[in-house]
Amino acid sequence: MLNHSSAFKLSDDDALILDSIEKWLERDVQPHVLKFDHADEYPHEIVEQMKELGLFGATIPAEYGGLGLSATTYARVIERISTTWMALSGIINSHLIMAACVARSGTEEQRQTFLPRFATGEIRGGLALTEPDAGTDLQSIRTRAVKNGDHYIVNGTKTWITNGIEGTCFALLVKTDIDANPRHKGMSMFIAEKGEGFTVSRKLEKLGYKSIDSAELIFDNYRIPADRLIGLEEGHGLQAALGGLELGRINVAARGCGLAQAALQDSVKYAQMRKTFGKPIGEHQAIQLKLGEMATRLQAARLLTYDAARAYDTGERCDMEAGMAKYFASEAAVSNSLEAMRIHGGYGYSKEFHIERYYRDSPLMCIGEGTNEIQRIIIAKQLIERSPV
């Protein structure tokens, strides 16, 4: 189904990239999604193809070996991938947020050492922020790094870490000063590669977002060289994490658009095939009302997402815009997948169709990269800050 957002045209080069991703998804991914999702099996072969397509370097600047895509093009790529299989986008999303943390807050030496290896997918990983007792309130994390000569010794637990099992390197948020006031001044971020003292304690089982590993990570006297401290200065960890999350929120919004699109396009097709009372269900007004709402919701979500990406690309402040896009597009995914299930009747509940997968995958978009409760609080705070009396 066509994407009608003509207000946000891609360059010819970017359109070519999107076209090759589209062909790859149709040929090599779509036929296998149900099998992988139902078996909760990691798609190793597909990940190798993602490396060849350059997706692990999608937003890494070209001077460090990446594709250097703008956030706008990246959002379109993620939306398209998520229309076929949302979980797949999780493999590159947190990996690219880790890369964005290094690109934005790292030293030139750290950029040169890590970004080219992230770009090829030689090192893959993600973002290790959340802990068993700290998600939204990141400033209350307990993982601690204590300086010891030219190393730090890290102890603590991280949970829900995407790519935790298959990945080898993580942007790790820790406390370097537990008494700092304000608390964020005692927070730092490291580029942490797996090794002695850094282990995976368990794989976490989930409602949806299958096949992609979510894990708990344990740091037990893990020694990390001091030159892995991002920016080489303590106290800037939260800032580095939040900077990366803007791109992350645009990505989650794009994933929401992809899921909302998938639910709509399957429904438009089914509404023409399934007949009741002598005519296709798409000719009953009750179904038409649903399709009309689903399509409008999707288009609004898309416009918010592309606008937030445009603001990110031009360097404008976009925390409110990314928050609005993430909030609206994730709720659109949840609503569209539920409506798709109603339109499909009993078949919507069947594992032979993709609808029940959209329904299981969508709610994660409301939780990850800051819950939707927090997004609305960010929007309100920004409204007041940008319009002082």
Whole-number Å distance between alpha carbons of 324 and 210: 27
Whole-number Å distance between alpha carbons of 42 and 39: 9
368 binds ligand FAD (CB under 6 A): yes
Between 162 and 362, whose beta carbon lies closer to ligand FAD? 162
Binding range to ligand FAD, per CB under 6 A, among 5-13, 33-41, 45-53, 206-214: 206-214
140 binds ligand FAD (CB under 6 A): no
Report the alpha-carbon angle 299-309-290, nearest 5. Answer: 15
Binding range to ligand FAD, per CB under 6 A, among 98-106, 157-165, 277-285, 298-306: 157-165
Between 111 and 210, whose beta carbon lies closer to ligand FAD? 210
CB 85 within 8 A of CB 207: no
Residue 31 beta carbon to ligand FAD: minimum distance, rounded to whole angstroms: 25
Binding range to ligand FAD, per CB under 6 A, among 41-49, 53-61, 154-162, 343-351: 154-162
Whole-number Å distance between alpha carbons of 384 and 82: 34
214 binds ligand FAD (CB under 6 A): yes
The first and second tokens of residue 125, run together, are 């990983």
Binding range to ligand FAD, per CB under 6 A, among 120-128, 147-155, 216-224, 254-262: 120-128
196 is catalytic: no
Whole-number Å distance between alpha carbons of 241 and 127: 9
Residue 195 beta carbon to ligand FAD: minimum distance, rounded to whole angstroms: 20
Find, among 110, 32, 128, 116, the residue nearest to 67 by Cα: 116
Amino acid at position 335, single letter: S
Find, among 293, 254, 251, the residue nearest to 5 by Cα: 254
Residue 291 beta carbon to ligand FAD: minimum distance, rounded to whole angstroms: 30
Residue 64 beta carbon to ligand FAD: minimum distance, rounded to whole angstroms: 22
85 binds ligand FAD (CB under 6 A): no
Judged by CB under 6 A, the chain residues 369 through 388 that form the site for ligand FAD are 371, 373-374, 377
Question: Which of 331, 339, 356, 369 is flagged as catalytic?
Answer: 369
Count of C-beta atoms within a 10 Å radius of residue 18 = 18
Between 204 and 232, whose beta carbon lies closer to ligand FAD? 204
- Please pick, from the candidates 72, 89, 162, 211, the single residue that binds ligand FAD as defined by CB under 6 A: 162
Whole-number Å distance between alpha carbons of 321 and 125: 27
CB 251 within 8 A of CB 310: no
364 binds ligand FAD (CB under 6 A): yes
Site string for ligand FAD, 88-107 (x = CB under 6 A): ------x-------------
161 binds ligand FAD (CB under 6 A): yes
127 binds ligand FAD (CB under 6 A): yes
CB 257 within 8 A of CB 302: yes
Between 112 and 136, whose beta carbon lies closer to ligand FAD? 136
Which residues, including other chains, have CB under 8 Å from residue 99's CB and lie 6 or more apart?
57, 59, 60, 66, 114, 115, 118, 119
151-162/214-225 β-pairing? antiparallel
- Main-chain dihedrals φ then ψ at residue 165, nearest 5 degrees: -95, -50
187-193/169-175 β-pairing? antiparallel
Binding range to ligand FAD, per CB under 6 A, among 12-20, 129-137, 220-228, 315-323: 129-137
130 binds ligand FAD (CB under 6 A): yes
Between 241 and 264, whose beta carbon lies closer to ligand FAD? 241
Residue 328 beta carbon to ligand FAD: minimum distance, rounded to whole angstroms: 16
- Main-chain dihedrals φ then ψ at residue 7, nearest 5 degrees: -70, -15
Whole-number Å distance between alpha carbons of 221 and 68: 37
- Please pick, from the candidates 56, 160, 219, 270, the single residue that binds ligand FAD as defined by CB under 6 A: 160
Which residues, including other chains, have CB under 8 Å from residue 209's CB and lie 6 or more apart?
86, 87, 90, 360, 361, 364
Please list the active-site residues. Answer: 369
- Residues of this chain that interact with ligand FAD (CB under 6 A) are 94, 126-130, 135-136, 160-162, 206, 209, 214, 364, 367-368, 371, 373-374, 377
